[in-house]
Amino acid sequence: MNVTAPLSEIRGWTRRAFDAWDQFWFTPRSSFVLSLLRIATGMFLLYSHLVLATDLSSFLGADAWINPEVAKSLHDGTFGESDWGRSYLWSIESGALLWIHHLVTLAVTTAFMIGLGTRITAPAAWLLQLMYIHRLTGALFGLDQIVTYMVMYLSLAPCGSFLSVDAVIRKRLDGRLDSNRKLQWLFPDQSPSVAANVATRLLQLHLCVIYLFGGLAKARGESWWDGTAMWYAVGSYEYQSLDMTWIAGYPRVFSFLTHVTLFWEVSYCFLIWPKLLRPVMLLVAIAVHGGIALFLGMATFGLAMICANAIFIEPTWLRRLFTGKPLETIESDFDDPEIDMSELADEDLSDSGLGDSNLSDSDLSDSGFELGSASGVGGLSPDIKEKVLERARKVRAAGDKIRKRYLLLKEREKALKQATKELERRKRRFARRVAKEGDKPSDS
């Protein structure tokens, strides 16, 4: 029996699976959507903290509904198993200190929202949010969950590269950024990145988990099957923000809405991925969460969920929607030549025989040359050594830029392909219409 054929098939399948995994997680992605989500998440966080500020002592003070000691005891194992939820806010009882802390939180959240020092303020806003979460046990609901997850994933990505103060600063710092990697990291450029893709994928999958288990939990209830759940949701006086009791007279309507909600929620994690069905799933998401926002008194939660769903929208499409730029110029920001090749033509180095423009990173590595260290240029004079190192840095920076440019071009190519397809489709439609018009008998 020939066993090599099945083995090679398995090997091929495995390789394809790994390739697919790499493509899914490691294809660079624009952080435009994440930048928009940063603004939205920042707004929700800021609003939540501002609302807390209206009654800070009742929720965080020494005499809060759940005082700090009780909040701690709900996590530290006093009443059974302990968990890892921890908050230094359990130790803050002074009203003044609490206010100072809250003001700092408001400042950090505002900075995160406007995209100021996002590399720092995003993780800081997340950490602060976690501290509040573990302090506010008992007073939390869906809004806190989704906002915490969004800020968590945004902290992983360069979410301050668009629509941010960081982007403005980056433009102003233009010249100085090339030679300073720290500044480059601090003020990320707008090129697609793997970090943006990983953050996007994680939030997408997390949303799928939320909807899947939300749907499965509903599927255990009777009212989600007999169609009455929607009535009980809108019939809850404590939740309702608009009186919808009139719907009691239309059982077909509310039972239909109940079934749509259940099936949509359970199937979301499967049907959101095919591009054909994605708009449908997103429209239902807007309807369901819009309904929660309008009728069930949870405007913040409903809007936050709608915003979270935007993570499934293609960055190029969303950017066109927000900036109004036609597709052809969508990446025009990146057309400015950032790579100044003249910088690489260092005459001093040419004179010394080190100005070889074909010098590559691998050449440097092969020769034992380490970027950023002088170990590989020990035999040269300090002056030349410094120039070589500077040159090497420039080469590396130019390489990075070329790589980024390549990725941008790939993205543009993709967008152009889509535009071409759309153009073809319109042309065909137009041709059909012309043909149809031609077939019509003329009255005149």
Partner 1 sequence: MSHEKVPLRKGIRVAISIAVVLHLWAVILPPLGFQTRGPLGSSPSIATLASPVRGYGEMLYLNRGYAFFAPDPGPSHLVQASYIDAGGNRVEEMFPDRERHWPRLLYHRHFMLTEFLHEIYQPPGPPGDLAGVDPEAASLWAAARRRYETVRQSYTDHLNNSRTGSKDLAIRRLEHRIPSFIEIVAEPIQLDDPRMYGVLVDRPVDFGGPGEAQVIDPETLPTLGAPEVDLVDLDAGAMTNQSNVEQSQVIGVVQPLPSEASQANEPVAEDGNDASSFEAVSE
Among positions 14-73, residues that touch partner 1 (CB under 8 A) are 16, 19-23, 25-28, 47-48, 51-52, 54-55, 58-59, 63-67, 70, 73
> Which residue, 78 or 350, has its beta carbon nearer to partner 1?
78
- Interface residue with partner 1, options 2, 5, 242, 249 (CB under 8 A): 249
Minimum Å distance from CB 54 to partner 1?
6
Tell me the residue type at 139: A
Query: 164 is written with which tokens?
Result: 């941010």
Residue 60 to residue 67: CA distance in whole angstroms: 7
Q: Which of 335, 313, 317, 314 has the alpha carbon at shortest distance from 326? A: 317
Give the x-and-dash track for 256-285 against partner 1 (CB under 8 A): ------------------------------
Which listed range, 164-172, 222-230, 361-369, 390-398, lies at the site for partner 1 (CB under 8 A)?
222-230
> Which residue, 325 or 405, has its beta carbon nearer to partner 1?
405
Tell me the residue type at 418: Q
Helix, strand, coil % in the chain, rounded to nearest 5: 70, 0, 30
Residue 288 to residue 190: CA distance in whole angstroms: 33
Q: Which of 89, 99, 87, 105 has the alpha carbon at shortest distance from 48? A: 105
74 forms part of the interface with partner 1 (CB under 8 A): yes
* Footprint on residues 94-133 left by partner 1 (CB under 8 A): 130, 133
Minimum Å distance from CB 107 to partner 1?
20
Minimum Å distance from CB 317 to partner 1?
21
Phi, psi dihedral angles at 441 (to 5 degrees) = -70, 135
Residue 367 to residue 358: CA distance in whole angstroms: 14
Residue 384 to residue 141: CA distance in whole angstroms: 63
Which listed range, 83-91, 179-187, 334-342, 353-361, lies at the site for partner 1 (CB under 8 A)?
83-91
Q: Which of 206, 205, 214, 200 has the alpha carbon at shortest distance from 292? A: 214
> Which residue, 384 or 397, has its beta carbon nearer to partner 1?
397
> Which residue, 70 or 380, has its beta carbon nearer to partner 1?
70
* Footprint on residues 330-369 left by partner 1 (CB under 8 A): none
- Interface residue with partner 1, options 148, 180, 267, 323 (CB under 8 A): 148
Residue 432 to residue 443: CA distance in whole angstroms: 21
- Interface residue with partner 1, options 143, 167, 303, 389 (CB under 8 A): 143
290 forms part of the interface with partner 1 (CB under 8 A): no
For 295, other C-beta atoms within 10 Å of its C-beta total 18
229 forms part of the interface with partner 1 (CB under 8 A): yes
User: Is residue 68 within 8 Å of residue 90, measured between CB atoms?
Assistant: yes
300 forms part of the interface with partner 1 (CB under 8 A): yes
323 forms part of the interface with partner 1 (CB under 8 A): no
410 forms part of the interface with partner 1 (CB under 8 A): yes
Minimum Å distance from CB 136 to partner 1?
8
Minimum Å distance from CB 386 to partner 1?
29
Minimum Å distance from CB 213 to partner 1?
4
Residue 140 to residue 269: CA distance in whole angstroms: 25
Residue 103 to residue 97: CA distance in whole angstroms: 10
237 forms part of the interface with partner 1 (CB under 8 A): yes
For 29, other C-beta atoms within 10 Å of its C-beta total 23
Phi, psi dihedral angles at 158 (to 5 degrees) = -75, 65
DSSP readout, 176-192? HHTT-HHHHHHS--SS-
302 forms part of the interface with partner 1 (CB under 8 A): no
Minimum Å distance from CB 383 to partner 1?
34
Residue 397 to residue 179: CA distance in whole angstroms: 8
For tokens 């020769």, name the residue.
Answer: 367
Interface with partner 1 (CB under 8 A), residue total 94
298 forms part of the interface with partner 1 (CB under 8 A): yes
* Footprint on residues 188-207 left by partner 1 (CB under 8 A): 194, 198, 201-202, 205-206
Tell me the residue type at 140: L
Minimum Å distance from CB 221 to partner 1?
3
